[in-house]
Amino acid sequence: MSKNHWTAYWKSGVLTSLPADFKVNYDGELADYWLSVLQQYDQEITTLDVCTGNGAVAILVKQLAQQLDLNINMTAVDASDIKPASILNNFPDMQDVINQIDFIGNCLIENMCEKINSKFELIVSQYGIEYCETEPAAQNIVKLLKEKGKFVFISHAPETAMMAYMQTEEQVYQVLEDVKAFEILHQFSNDKTTVNGFKIKLKACLAAMSLHAAYRSNALFNTWGNTLSQLLNMPNAALKQQRIKAKEFSQQYEFARARANDMLRVSDKLLNDPKWYQAFERAGLTLINQGDIRYQNTHNVGHFYEFTKD
C-alpha cells in the first residue's frame, strides 16, 4: 500500500501524528505510561520503535531513559520515507537525540526482518502497529524480540471523539468530491482549463457547496469555501499565477484525507474485531497487562498492551 500521504506529512516537519493536541511531543499520561515501562529496567537495553513516523515515541523513550540514567540503544522503523531531521526547524534542541536513533524508512513491519538483523529487549509502538497487517507483523515482532523480551504498544481508542470528528471530515471530503472541487483544481493546475473556464466552474462549485447547509460551521468545509471564493474573486492575471499553489492546496487535502481514512480504517478494524491483539499471542507472546490511558483525566487516548516472549 502506498504511504505517500504519510511521507508528505512527515516531510512537513511535524513530530507526532496529533500535532493539534500535543504541541511538542506526547506528554501527560502518555509520557507517564512510557516512563513506567522503562522503570522496569535497570541496565542497558536495545529498543525498536515500530511505525515510528518522525520518531515521536523513539525520541520520548530516549529522553525518559536519560532521566532514569538508563542507557537505551534505539532503532526506529516506518513504511514511509520518514524525515526525522525535518522536525529540527520546529524543535532544534532535538538534534542530539535524533542523532542517537537509527531510523529506517521505507520498511514495512511485515517485511522488516529483511532489513533488521539485530534482536531487541523491548519493542514499542504508539498509534502504529494497528495500521499493519496483524498476523505477519506479529510474526516479525516475535522474531526480533530476544527471549524474555517485551512488546509494549498503545493503540488508538477507536470510539474516541477524534474518530467521530474524522468521520464528519470524510463526509465533507465526499461533498467536495461530489461538487467537483478537487477535479476543477486539478484541471486548473494541470493547465487543462482557461482562467475564465476555471471561474465558471468555480462559481458552479460554490453554488453547489452552498446547498450543503449542514456543514456551514465545519472548519474544513469553510476553508475550502473561502479558498475557492478567493480564487474566484482574483483578477485573471493574478489567478494565472496560482496554478502551482492550487495544486499544492488540493494535494495537501488529498493526503490529509488519505491519512484520516487510514485512521478510520484502523478504527473500524479495532471495533469489528476487539480481540485483534490476540494475534500476538497466537504468534507466541504472552499478554501480561492491558488497559486504557486517560489523558488529563478526561478522555481515552489509547489502549495499552504489554506482551512478553517467554
Ligand X SMILES: C[S@@+](CC[C@H](N)C(=O)[O-])C[C@H]1O[C@@H](n2cnc3c(N)ncnc32)[C@H](O)[C@@H]1O
Give the residues lining the site for ligand X (CB under 6 A): 3, 6, 16-17, 51-53, 56-57, 78-80, 108-110, 126-128, 131-132
Mode of pairing for the β-strands spanning 145-155 and 299-308 = antiparallel
The least distance separating ligand X from the CB of residue 156, rounded to whole angstroms, comes to: 8
49 neighbors 77 (Cβ within 8 angstroms): yes
The least distance separating ligand X from the CB of residue 278, rounded to whole angstroms, comes to: 19
Specify the residue, 75 or 80, whose C-beta has the smaller distance to ligand X.
Answer: 80
3-class state of residue 288 by DSSP: strand
Specify the residue, 10 or 215, whose C-beta has the smaller distance to ligand X.
Answer: 10
Helices (H), the chain: 4-11, 28-38, 56-67, 95-99, 134-144, 161-178, 181-189, 195-210, 219-232, 236-240, 243-272, 278-282
239 neighbors 231 (Cβ within 8 angstroms): yes
Specify the residue, 179 or 263, whose C-beta has the smaller distance to ligand X.
Answer: 263
**Which residues, other chains included, contact 94 with Cβ-Cβ below 8 Å and sequence gap of 6+?**
15, 59, 87, 88
Q: In whole angstroms, what is the distance from residue 71 CA to residue 44 CA? A: 5
The least distance separating ligand X from the CB of residue 302, rounded to whole angstroms, comes to: 10
The least distance separating ligand X from the CB of residue 118, rounded to whole angstroms, comes to: 18
The least distance separating ligand X from the CB of residue 177, rounded to whole angstroms, comes to: 23
The least distance separating ligand X from the CB of residue 60, rounded to whole angstroms, comes to: 9
Distances in whole angstroms, Cα of residue 8 to Cα of each of 53, 103, 121, 264: 11, 17, 32, 19
Specify the residue, 52 or 218, whose C-beta has the smaller distance to ligand X.
Answer: 52
Specify the residue, 8 or 181, whose C-beta has the smaller distance to ligand X.
Answer: 8
Specify the residue, 16 or 46, whose C-beta has the smaller distance to ligand X.
Answer: 16
Specify the residue, 7 or 242, whose C-beta has the smaller distance to ligand X.
Answer: 7
With CA atoms as reference, report the closest residue to 154 among 45, 307, 310: 307
With CA atoms as reference, report the closest residue to 44 among 130, 98, 120, 115: 120
158 neighbors 138 (Cβ within 8 angstroms): no
For residue 49, the cross-strand partners are: 76, 124
Specify the residue, 59 or 205, whose C-beta has the smaller distance to ligand X.
Answer: 59
Mode of pairing for the β-strands spanning 299-308 and 286-295 = antiparallel
The least distance separating ligand X from the CB of residue 263, rounded to whole angstroms, comes to: 7
The least distance separating ligand X from the CB of residue 79, rounded to whole angstroms, comes to: 3
